[in-house]
Structures are given as C-alpha cells and as structure tokens.
Amino acid sequence: MKYIDEFRDGAAARGLARQIVQETRSDREYRLMEFCGGHTHAIYRYGVPDLLPPGVRMIHGPGCPVCVLPIGRLNMALELVARPQVTLCSYGDMLRVPGSGGQSLLKAKAAGVDIRMIYSAADALALAQRHPDREVVFFAIGFETTTPPTALVIQRAAELDLLNFSVFCNHVLTPAAIAHLLAAPEARALDAVPIDGFLGPAHVSVVIGSRPYEGFARDHRKPVVISGFEPLDVLQSILMLIRQLNEGRAEVENQYTRAVTRDGNLKAQRLMAEIFEPRPMFEWRGLGLIPHSALTIREPYARFDAERRFPLTYQAASEHRACQCGAILRGVKKPTDCKLFDVVCTPENPLGSCMVSSEGACAAYYRYGRYQGAA
C-alpha cells in the first residue's frame, strides 16, 4: 500500500535498529515516555521492543482519551441517558468503560436506553437533524486531535439554530498533562518516574504545532521528539532522542515533518478558541486534578453545553481498589504489575479503562505482548 508500507519496511527497521544499538551508551539507561496511546499500540503491534537494546526502556504515557477520563465523568453520561428524551452519541470505546457500581453505557444500551455508537461528531449532528423530537447529546472526548471537529459541529448547530443538539464536552489538553508529569515531582516523591525524554504526539501536534513543547523542553531539560505513528517513525524518533541525550541537548525536534509544523493548524486553533475556553480545573484518571487541562464550551454557545442544559454536576468517584490504571497512566507501573491484569481484568471484562481502549497500555500488552511474560 503506497505511503503506508514504506513506513513499515522491515529492512529499513533493521538498519535503524542497528544504528540505535551502535549509538546507545552502555553506561546509562534511556527512559523514554511515548505520550500517546497510538505510539504504545504501534510499538506492540509491530514488535518494536524486540528491536531495542536492553538499555532503552519505553514508558507508556497517559495519551489515551478513554483511559484518562475519570469515572465521575462517565457517571455523568450515565446520568444523562437516564433521561428518557436523551439520545447519547458516543465513540465505541467509551461504551465499554466501567462506571460506578459496574454500570457501563453498553449495559445501559442493552437495557434499552438510546445510545448510538458513532464514528464522527458530524454523525451526531446529522442524527439531531433527523430526530427533532429527541435531545441528541454528543459525548465528546479526546485531545486536541478530535477537538476541532467538535468545535465545528457546535458552530454548525449554532448556524442551523438546532435546538435539540448539545455536547457533553470532555476535551483535554496535551501540554498541560506533560507539564503535570514533569512539574513538582517532589510532591509525589515516592511515586515519580524518572523520564529522560518524550516521544511527542503525532496527530495532536498537527493541530497545536511543535511550539507548545518548547517551554518544558527548555525548563525541565527534557528532549521531545514529535513522532509519527508508523513503526519506522517511532524507531527513528527513538534514535533522535538517544542522540539528543548523548549530546546533552534538550530540544523539541520534529520527526513527523510530513504533517507537523512549528505553528500547527492555525485555522483549527482559531476555531477551538472561538468555541472553547480552558476549565479552571479538571480531574484526570491517574493524574488527579490538573488546572487548565481541559476545555469547556464558551458562554455564547452555552445552549449547546449538555452540562448546563440538563444540568449535570461532577462528583469524583472511586476506582476499583486493586486497579492500577492510575499508576500505569503516570508511567509508574507496567500493566503486568497489576494483580488484576489477565486474571479478572481482560478486554472482555475490563475493570479499568486502560484495558478497554485500543490505545490503552493494558489492552496493547494484552493483545500483543502477553506471550513475553509467559515465556
């Protein structure tokens, strides 16, 4: 397949792997966090760890929108669908995440509640147009990649004066999460994981550009390489990080030059700024409360905000006691460190969000990497 196979080429991979081995110093470790679940998935699907020398360790980051959404927010969605006039539109992954008391959107759907699985925000808008008698709510989740499409449907709904459409907004911001992981490690001294460098997000950076990472690369002396999602992109980015670390540099480098610029997509950024504003505080699963780390809908579009329309209030809820999703999302633990992994928590019966989403670290380990621990 043109423009795909080239980025999965085995011969090129072996060449890069040789270079990584040559340039890796034996007197140090390279602890590299891939921020995105998309990278975690690619790393395991293509068997990238088999090509890395033992001193290079990949730490999985919190970049999985389904994984980081706290149970309290899911409970709000469950509260929404309890209203008979509501049709909730959600991406598929979200349906299987367990909420409080073992409830999930999928179970609610099976019990007869009107929940539709959709592929894009535009599907939700179209559904609202077709069913003026229903209150159609779009369960919006995701990082900056999926935010512009949500902004677009809100703008369109305003133009159409669509009275039966609203958005339950859970969009979160990548730079805030990375800054949180780096900042104040002393506050979690026992629980901090040393990270030497970051593989930066691909699609998120297409929207926000590479500039937002420059601050913490400089302030925290951590190199960032923005990396595409194909396995060769990942290998090349790992090599670029190793070179920066060997040379004592801490810069933002862009491996994904075929899509990412320093300034990003300005049109998308303007659109997001028109519709959304940062929330003062938002809870992340595993990372806790992070200021200015999520978006809410601005006042002029308040009528499309499901939280104000119905209204809904957020209440923090506790996780399954033994679930290690939080520590896994911080990079402190590996999925196999969790007692529930592959015992009671499986993709068929997920207890934590990291096992649900295809971008979750537990799901990636379970699907692609489980044989290694058993061998």
Partner 1 sequence: MSAPRTRHFFASPLDFESGRVELSHGSGGRAMAQLIEELFATAFRNPWLDQRNDQACLELPAGRVAMTTDSYVVSPLFFPGGNIGSLAVHGTVNDLAMAGARPLHLSVGFILEAGFPLADLRRIVMSMATAARAANVTIVTGDTKVVERGKGDGVFVNTTGIGVIPDGVQLSGDRARPGDLILLSGSMGDHGVAVMSQRAGLEFETTLQSDSAALHELVAAMVAAAPGLRCLRDPTRGGLATTLNEIAVQSGVGMVLREAAIPIKPEVAAACELLGLDPLYVANEGKLIAICPPEDTERVLAAMHVHPLGAAAAVIGTVREDPHRFVTMETTFGGNRLVDWLSGEQLPRIC
44 vs 304, beta carbon nearer partner 1: 44
- At closest approach, how far in Å is the CB of 211 from partner 1? 29
Measured distance CA(346)–CA(343) in Å, rounded = 7
H-helix or E-strand containing 30?
A: strand 30-36
Q: Which is nearer to partner 1, 88 or 195 (CB)?
A: 88
Q: How far is the CB of 327 from partner 1 (least distance, A)?
A: 23
Nearest approach, Cβ of residue 50 and partner 1 (Å): 4
Give whichever of 51 and 275 is closer to partner 1, judged by the CB atom: 51
Binding stretches for partner 1 (CB under 8 A): 1, 4, 8-10, 13-14, 17, 44-51, 96, 118-119, 123, 231, 346-348, 358, 366-371, 374
Sign of CA dihedral 55, 61, 66, 72: positive
Closest CA to 304 of 181, 95, 162: 162
Q: To which residue do tokens 């460098």 refer?
A: 197
Residue 257 CB neighbour total at 10 angstroms: 11
Q: How far is the CB of 25 from partner 1 (least distance, A)?
A: 23
Q: How distant, in Å, are the alpha carbons of 88, 117, 229, 322 from that of 352? A: 22, 20, 25, 10
Calpha distance 166→275 (Å, rounded)? 13
- Closer residue to partner 1, CB minimum distance, 13 or 287: 13
3 state DSSP class of 182: helix
Q: Least distance from C-beta 146 to partner 1, angstroms?
A: 13
Q: How far is the CB of 369 from partner 1 (least distance, A)?
A: 6
Cβ proximity of 352 and 319 under 8 Å: yes
Choice between 114 and 283, CB closer to partner 1: 114
Nearer of residues 2 and 321 to partner 1, judged by Cβ = 2
Q: Which residues contact 46 (CB under 8 A, 6 or more apart)?
A: 8, 231
